[in-house]
Structure 1
Amino acid sequence: MKRWMIAGIVALMLGQGAHAAAPQHWVASWGAAQQIPETNNLLPQADIQDATLRQVVRLSVGGSRLRVRFSNAFGTQVLTIAAAHIARSADKATPRIVAGTDRVLTFDGRPAVSIPPGADYLSDPVALDAPALSSLTVSFHLPQAPAGQTGHPGSRATSYYVHGDHTADADLPAAGKIDHWYQLTGVEVVAPPAASTIVAFGDSITDGHGATTNGDDRWPDILAARLQGASGTRNISVVNVGIGGNHLLTDGLGPNALARLDRDVFARPGAKILLVLEAINDLGKLSREDVRAPAQHTQLVADLIAAYRQMIARAHGQGIKVIGCTVTPYVGSDYYHPDAASEADRVALNQWIRTSGAFDAVVDFDAVIRDPAKPERMVAAYDSGDHLHPSAAGYKAMANAIPMGVLR
């Protein structure tokens, strides 16, 4: 009798487990790396006091249930958000929203949240039909200006600000405009269990210097569109965490690459592939102002390789595949004016990326955009004009050269 009762209880428990709701599978669909904005990229304190910020972002994979990740990563005091809304964008070059799509964001059921300094904070999930590659507006009211702004200057997207709480307004016709993002680091969606996220990690070439404002034509944007164009890859999202001026080894514009892995890569839900395109700023910085001894060039290449190995080891520890991207040509750059020794460093580093076997796969961006007759330079059609950053055509060529097979 006792055995029968125990068996019945076990069967009941198993039955309840079988009918329990499966946990939701969240993936990052849009994101941006955070940094302390330079002085010329800060919003004036007077403009952001008692102000609504409306910012436009583009998803990669779509979904019908979303949440937003806000950031106070570089704040020195608590950041208070008094109200927040999300909606479909009616026009990504304006603050207008699609009628009927406005949704209130809450935080543990409350309309306001106080985010501690150094922290990110997720909103509660909200129901909103947001197709793949659609644009959303995220609007939030700040009663007080942030003590230490956190942002992403290289948004290549226009944001809007106006005094007062206008988070629910269908349009902000009198708003000020600025082409940066602030206090906003991610939008995540509920996706099928097989869905995953690619994190594109790099400097201004990944961030999209030279791309079209509100044009979504950076190479990660085009890669996201390619993935949505094939049935076998529509569950793969792309998050761009490039920072203009970023370095592998030292802090530049934004923290160094190793310092930001946890926040910018490992914290992204669904992250399974890391695409790394970094080192051009390290290479250029070494001899930008002075001629360096051969031993210093040798040491730099060794240090860069060691940093790559650190990134690979740490990513593998999180179950993330790492794809190394070769460093693109930059001879002729008026900013770095690289000499023969700098070019030799780039060639040596690229040779290691291609042949070491340290990466799980390699994407040869160098081979895609270099001039066959002058391989130390970009081909003219892919050069933005500064001989350092690709043009929109160059970014398209880079994205189209990535083999889909390595991303599945």
Structure 2
Amino acid sequence: QAVSDPAPFAVPAGAQLLVSIHLPGPVEAAPVHAHALRTSWISPPGSGDRTADTGAKAFTGTLKTWPFLTGVDVSSPSPRSARGSGTGAVVTLGDSITDGVGSTADADNRWPDVLSRRLLGADRPPVQSVLNHGISANRIVTDRYLGDGVSRITGGVSAQNRLERDVLSQPGVRTVVVFEGINDLRAGTSPEEVAAGLRAVAERARA
């Protein structure tokens, strides 16, 4: 995992953020978010480093996934500002429903997007950012990815096993909304095991 240097510029609430990545050579395997529901644009192989381009001319291909980039940290307003009194971020931890599968592509109509817009428009509580950590096919009890190297299974490890990475270690998080368990039941996990997994997540989140 690599982290870039800070980039000092303002990002308006709810704005689209464009991140350009240059790959100097072929890549045989990459981390990927399978259901981005956002179109990404790519330049042809061998066209050079286009990360400084501000126009669209060089980007002739498209992707419907998000490769490589796993997140962007954004500093919130000062606690002294009228709309930045430090209520913290909200993480939505879920499966394909949270990921947005079935919602309109390129429209930001996943339910966490709707939640974000409602929070931005509310006077109380003050502005809260929403981190969508939904992964399609994810489960609360069992892992889809078994840690055996390169895999085409994109459902990831269970919500319990990714809780530290995706929730507890995220800066500024004070609230987590969990929407998991459907895929476990479909895979044959008992309701009792699913309930126990949800309780375990709740206990760790409150600790």
* Structures share fold, TM-score greater than 0.5: yes
Provide the residue aligned with 2:176 in structure 1: 274
Q: Is 1:254 aligned to residue 156 of structure 2? A: yes
Unaligned runs of 5+ in 2: 80-85, 145-154
Contact 2:100 2:110 in 1 (8 A): yes
SS of equivalent to 1:275: strand
Q: Which runs of 4+ in 1 moved over 2 A?
A: 144-148, 171-175, 231-235
Distance 1:172 1:245 in 2: 34
Post-superposition offset of 1:145:
3.5
SS of equivalent to 1:190: coil
SS of equivalent to 2:187: helix
Unaligned runs of 5+ in 1: 1-118, 287-296, 318-408
Post-superposition offset of 1:175:
2.4
1:304 maps to amino acid: V
User: Which protein is richer in helix relative to its size?
Assistant: 1
Distance 1:270 1:254 in 2: 24
C-alpha deviations, 1:90-117, integer Å up to 9, x for none?
xxxxxxxxxxxxxxxxxxxxxxxxxxxx
SS of equivalent to 2:203: helix
CA RMSD of aligned residues (A): 1.6
Provide the residue aligned with 2:165 in structure 1: 263
Q: How does 1:21-32 map to 2 (within 5 A)?
A: none
Q: Is 1:310 aligned to residue 200 of structure 2? A: yes
C-alpha deviations, 1:129-179, integer Å up to 9, x for none?
211000010001111334531111111101111132000111233421011
Aligned length: 186
Q: TM-score, normalised by structure 2?
A: 0.84
Provide the residue aligned with 2:90 in structure 1: 198
C-alpha deviations, 1:56-112, integer Å up to 9, x for none?
xxxxxxxxxxxxxxxxxxxxxxxxxxxxxxxxxxxxxxxxxxxxxxxxxxxxxxxxx
Q: Is 1:175 aligned to residue 77 of structure 2? A: no
Distance 1:127 1:278 in 2: 36
Post-superposition offset of 1:234:
4.1
1:258 maps to amino acid: Q
**Inter-CA distance 142–233: structure 2 relative to 1 (3 Å threshold):** farther
Provide the residue aligned with 1:402 in structure 2: none
Contact 2:87 2:174 in 1 (8 A): no
Q: How does 1:77-226 map to 2 (within 5 A)?
A: 119=1, 121-162=2-43, 163=45, 164-173=48-57, 174-191=59-76, 192-193=78-79, 194-226=86-118
User: Which protein is richer in strand relative to its size?
Assistant: 1
SS of equivalent to 2:166: helix
SS of equivalent to 2:36: coil
2:161 maps to amino acid: A
Distance 2:73 2:127 in 1: 13
Q: Which has the larger radius of gyration?
A: 1
Identity %: 40
Post-superposition offset of 1:227:
0.5
Distance 2:67 2:60 in 1: 16
Distance 2:125 2:107 in 1: 23
